[in-house]
Structure 1
Amino acid sequence: MKFRDLMFGALLALAGTSLTQAQSFKEFNEGFPETVQKMYHVPVAMGDGVKLATDIYLPDKTGKYPTLLIRDMYTNGSAASRQKYAKFATSNGYALVFQSVRGRYDSEGKWYPYFQEINDGDDTLSWIAEQSWSDGKVGMFGSSYLASVQWLAAINKNPALVAIAPAVSPGNYYRDVAYPGGAFSLLSRASWGIGLVGSRTNMSFPVDWVSGINHLPIETLAQSVGFNVQHFQDWIAHPSYDDYWKPLNLEDRATEMDVPAINIGGWFDVFLRSTIGSYTTMTEQSASSTSRNGQRLIIGPWPHGWNQSSKLGDVDFGENALIDAPAMLLDWFDYWMKGSTKPKGLKADEAPVRIFIMGENVWRDEQEWPLARTDYRPFYFHDNQTLSEKSPAKKTGTLKYDYDPADPVPTLGGNIMMPKLRGPYDQKPLDDREDILRFVTEPFTEATEFTGPISAEIYASSSAPDTDFMAKLIVVKPDGTAFNLVDGVIRARYREGFEKPKLIEPGKVYKYEIDMWATSYKLSPGDRIRVDITSSNYPRLARNLNTGAEFAKTSEMQVAHQTLHMSKEYPSKIVLPIIP
């Protein structure tokens, strides 16, 4: 039996089970077994001599064990959530090593996100493999930054690293973390980069990160709320994709990695694009057939805090939305690290991709991503604000709106970190705004599924030398409820690529391609699709001030008069991946 068939029986069977808040490892609340050996704050030297505080948990004082490694920057290992990871590992015959990353909590060195994790992760893997209690095999798991460190450690192809399970992980730090579509991810970079992780320990100073970050210019934003954070200043100093960001484009570095991975993501996660990107690039380009065939993808109806609740925003996706994460992880690591061939729940004919179909609210396994049977259909915008598969026949057709940076469209749902804003929300609070163009289809007469990458191609002109254009895909229910599924943005100066910005000529029509990432939804008869076009999404994204000035350097702004073109010559459209 091939591993491709074998392992996905376990993964997919378990993904379909329901367990409330499974990701919290609630079943590991009890104390450690008496045999567990614990060693706290062991100083482990990195290649440059800096010592990182490392906790070690062994199932017993004798024997050699496969090891699960967590490298963390959010706690020092004493938090209940991290203790549960140690209980999970040791109760299942694994050693667990918990390490605070460089410059955080009791670890020496200077804290600076991301870059230092490449060598530190590699050094830690080598150290574990050399220990008397280690059998030489190491696996890694964790979410968000705890997932980032897995990919970064994998770059050096350390032979000790045999499997990883990154959840909701960034993979292209320019396109996902900092500048989606070329527009600065203001809310997450300020609240996380300045507020939470601006020093050695997590911080919670009384700063309103949603409505209190409208300070301009952005280059003095941190100072305006009382901080001086070097990594935040570096992020805003590099608004284009340049040599600063290239080491962190893990999609371009797949050839340097050789490790099987479960890529776990959420349709409403801020790093969804990278979850899919990591799966596809590793499947196609990673260094060995074992690694290429060992990639797995699972995407649920989750935000960045994955697998915690069936309800997100204004929508409840039902009890099937949650999975038994600990059992899934145990099967995964048992196969790679203990030679297990028959995990519980095994089915031999399952597939490498598992996705949750929203609307129908069911899990489904697939053979590839994107789905080979996809029918990519264009839906065109018309100047009567309809959306249809019929292409425009008119020689001219336009709609106009004004974008005022002093009064931006407020963020309402989407793929963001902030718990009170993320996910699907009824868009009714934005109905009165005149700076949004809305295009809607006729009601669908039969159930229709779209699953896969979403993109918009619009033709637009502006009175400004630089501006933003945004598209949001919305499902409109028969009762009038209209909730968002996915959106995207393109900053005009990056319409031809993110490396070399080029301002636009006011009044000239340009084609803008908007990457809206991906989603999966099954419409019911009577549902309609709506697409909203606008130029702001604040504070999720920093406002384009429309002046063409260098990013973050100015507080000067101007109103942009925007024109969307819809004609035979300029067929603005959205392309949906319809599944027959």
Structure 2
Amino acid sequence: MRLTTFLTLAVTLALAEPSIAEPVASGVAGMAFDHDVPVIMTDGLQLRVNIYRPEKSGRYPVLMLMGPYGKDTSMADAPAYKTSWAKLIAKYPDLCKKSSCRYIRFEAPDPERWVANGYIVVHADVRGAGASPGVLDPFSPRETEDYATLIAWAAHQPWSSGKVGLLGTSFQAINQYQVAALHPQGLAAILPWEGAFDQYREIGYYGGLINVAWEYWWTHQVVPNQNGNAGTPLVDSISGGKDTGAPLPPDALKQNRIDPVASFAKHPFDDAYYQQRTPNGTQIVTPMLAIANWTDWSTEGYRAAASKQKWLRIQTGDHLTPFYSEEAFALQKRFFDHFLKGAPNGWEEEPRVAVQVRRPDGTAWRPASAWPLPGTHPQRWYLNAETGSMSTAPVSVVAKRSYPGSGEGLTFTSAPFEQETEFTGPIGARLWVSSSTKDMDIFAAVRLIDPQGRDVTFMGNSDPNVPLGLGYLRVSQRAEDPAKSTEYVPFHPHLGSEPMTPGEFYPTDVEFSEPTSIVIPKGYRLALTIQGKDFGYGPHANIAHARDYDLPNSDNSGLFFAAHPNRDPAIYGGTDTLATGGAQASYLLLPHVTAR
């Protein structure tokens, strides 16, 4: 929808009577609660929102989020969220002493704490989810248009100051980037906490390989909350019943939802489907604080946005618990106090970038003026197929080594580091490869090995044991756009397929999904594993701490599973070969920090 249309819509909403719902006793002193408030969308459909506001009358800034998980679904009781809730309470045992925790929802801020600090929180069920009817189609243009409508609506309510900020993690961070590009009236600041930006490269496909991990998300976390799903195990924590609306028969339910992985499979290349869902970064000018993770997700939204007032924080840790820490709440509050309340709290003096630098034994925050970090230089680590080693010295002798595409692949290991060394920033890899078939898939993992020969793993966004970095590439989609590529990060347009000639070698630049950070102590080594299947640590892996089984497929690392019918073993299970040395130099490109 065009900006002028939203401006017209905003004026219409401002003159209209506010939507009304019966108030519900919140049970929290000083907080009023309006449950299932209907809001009319541009096509006449009504979405349902919850409004948490101070009991004292007045106009307050609004924090908004819109998601598919159930605005009335308790994290403590829902089967899909019980593990996350248990981790949260274990990490922060005093969390429910600061509020009743009655209104905390998955990946969403606690409204009690914000209301107590002079904010209104509006939480909406997306179209087709929870109490909101319609077709459930995650991240679709229709869904983004709904979000813009809600923001304009909230900005013109009698309890609103006219300024709206967006806050939430994961899904509720991804859609912040989308809606900010539409410039809805009233939107004053966004805080996307660990959200992807590029719908093809960060969600549907990694390096041209379809990501079927979304099937678990869709089946276990989204479909149970579909509007009309009478068989949902989810319980409305407000009424004790179901908050999925009037029951629909199974056929109608299926027609009212669009399976994202099925859609991905129908769109193997970066076509209009993804381009409609990936924002135009030049249109994102709203002040923003972007939070990224060293493992899923993402600095891309920060890099793409044209906002002159933008800040980046890159952290480590799991998917949920850092969002609810006292440090996170204080950071979020300072940001929104400044941009939504005009508080002179010195936010403008905050460093534009801060990164949580990892070590094998802990982390430390470091401020910076830009991303990538100043004082960082690309360092090539040349692979040697003859010795299985890698080093910063170029390899003159050409060598080749083959491996089965369905097997364990090859690993190249450095000598022990002679002094403490830091790598913080984007990763790249140039690999000369051939295959016995017309295509091959590259899965690359950068690993840290301790002096005892054990893998040192790290807590990732979606996996408690991840390596330093993971890269992917379907070689038939190796074409690059030089104008959009950097030395570290190739930009593969993924507009079509160019089959390989069996036995012929091709230079390929592997896409790494995220940057990395590590201070390597003396005596530790780096390793690069290259194979033709998902990388992961199995139950008997030689790692430096106990394996924590957390995902349905615990042998995979990170938020990516490649097991899909489009990986025909007759093609992707062939014999793959890597060449190194001379004119076919293969290397890992690492961000060496020379000035701290």
TM-score, structure 1 length as denominator?
Answer: 0.76
Q: Specify the code of the residue in structure 1 equivalent to 2:419.
A: E
Superposed displacement of residue 569, structure 1? 1.4
Cα RMSD (Å): 2.6
CA deviations 1:88-140 (Å, max 9, x no partner) are 22100111111111010110211111112321011001111221111111011
SS, match of residue 479 in structure 1: coil
Which region of structure 1 is more displaced relative to structure 2, 71-80 or 380-389?
71-80
Q: Specify the code of the residue in structure 2 equivalent to 1:296.
A: W
Alpha-carbon separation, structure 2, partners of 1:306 and 1:466: 41
Q: Does 1:506 align with 2:502?
A: yes
SS, match of residue 139 in structure 1: strand
Aligned to 2:303: 280
Picking from 456, 469, 477, the partner of 1:486 is 469
SS, match of residue 273 in structure 2: coil
Q: Is the 8 A contact 1:441 1:530 kept in 2?
A: yes
Aligned to 2:522: 525
Aligned to 2:378: 376
Aligned to 2:592: 578
SS, match of residue 198 in structure 1: helix
The percentage of aligned residue pairs carrying the same residue is 27
CA deviations 1:192-239 (Å, max 9, x no partner) are 134432364399999xxxxxxxxxxxxxxxx9xx99954332111111
Q: Is the 8 A contact 1:86 1:96 kept in 2?
A: yes
Aligned to 2:561: 541
Aligned to 1:469: 442
Task: Sort the Cα spacing of 1:110 and 1:356 in 2 relative to 1 into closer, same or farther, 3 A.
Answer: same
Superposed displacement of residue 301, structure 1? 1.3
Unaligned 5+ segments in structure 2 are 1-25, 75-101, 234-250, 457-466, 480-491, 536-555
Q: Does 1:302 align with 2:331?
A: no
1:85-100 superposed matches below 5 A: 85-100=110-125
Picking from 412, 421, 437, the partner of 1:448 is 421
Picking from 226, 242, 248, the partner of 1:201 is 226
Q: Specify the code of the residue in structure 2 equivalent to 1:235.
A: F
Superposed displacement of residue 436, structure 1? 2.1
Q: Is the 8 A contact 1:268 1:304 kept in 2?
A: no
Picking from 154, 157, 173, the partner of 1:147 is 173
1:107-506 superposed matches below 5 A: 107-115=132-140, 116-186=142-212, 188-198=213-223, 200-201=225-226, 230-250=259-279, 253-269=280-296, 272=297, 275-282=298-305, 286=306, 291-292=307-308, 294-305=309-320, 307=322, 324-342=327-345, 350-359=350-359, 361-382=363-384, 383-394=386-397, 396-404=398-406, 435-483=408-456, 484-496=467-479, 497=492, 498-506=494-502
Superposed displacement of residue 558, structure 1? 6.5
Alpha-carbon separation, structure 1, partners of 2:444 and 2:572: 22
SS, match of residue 448 in structure 2: strand
Q: What number of residue pairs does the alignment pair up?
A: 466
Q: Is the 8 A contact 1:194 1:229 kept in 2?
A: no
Alpha-carbon separation, structure 2, partners of 1:64 and 1:141: 19
Aligned to 1:431: none
Higher relative contact order (CA 8 A, sep 6+): 1
SS, match of residue 223 in structure 2: coil
SS, match of residue 299 in structure 2: helix
CA deviations 1:418-451 (Å, max 9, x no partner) are xxxxxxxxxxxxxxxxx32111111111110001
Aligned to 1:67: 62
SS, match of residue 523 in structure 2: coil
Superposed displacement of residue 35, structure 1? 3.2
Alpha-carbon separation, structure 1, partners of 2:569 and 2:468: 33
Q: Is the 8 A contact 1:265 1:302 kept in 2?
A: no
Picking from 69, 72, 76, the partner of 1:77 is 72
Task: Sort the Cα spacing of 1:155 and 1:54 in 2 relative to 1 into closer, same or farther, 3 A.
Answer: same
Alpha-carbon separation, structure 1, partners of 2:197 and 2:367: 24
Task: Sort the Cα spacing of 1:68 and 1:301 in 2 relative to 1 into closer, same or farther, 3 A.
Answer: same
Superposed displacement of residue 248, structure 1? 1.9
Task: Sort the Cα spacing of 1:558 and 1:329 in 2 relative to 1 into closer, same or farther, 3 A.
Answer: closer
Q: Is the 8 A contact 1:166 1:264 kept in 2?
A: yes
TM-score, structure 2 length as denominator?
Answer: 0.74
CA deviations 1:395-415 (Å, max 9, x no partner) are x301111123xxx6xxxxxxx
Alpha-carbon separation, structure 1, partners of 2:45 and 2:205: 32
Q: Is the 8 A contact 1:470 1:487 kept in 2?
A: yes
Q: Is the 8 A contact 2:32 2:53 kept in 1?
A: yes
Alpha-carbon separation, structure 2, partners of 1:461 and 1:537: 19
Q: Is the 8 A contact 1:438 1:530 kept in 2?
A: yes
Q: Specify the code of the residue in structure 1 equivalent to 2:434.
A: S
Aligned to 2:87: none
Superposed displacement of residue 34, structure 1? 3.0
Alpha-carbon separation, structure 2, partners of 1:40 and 1:349: 39
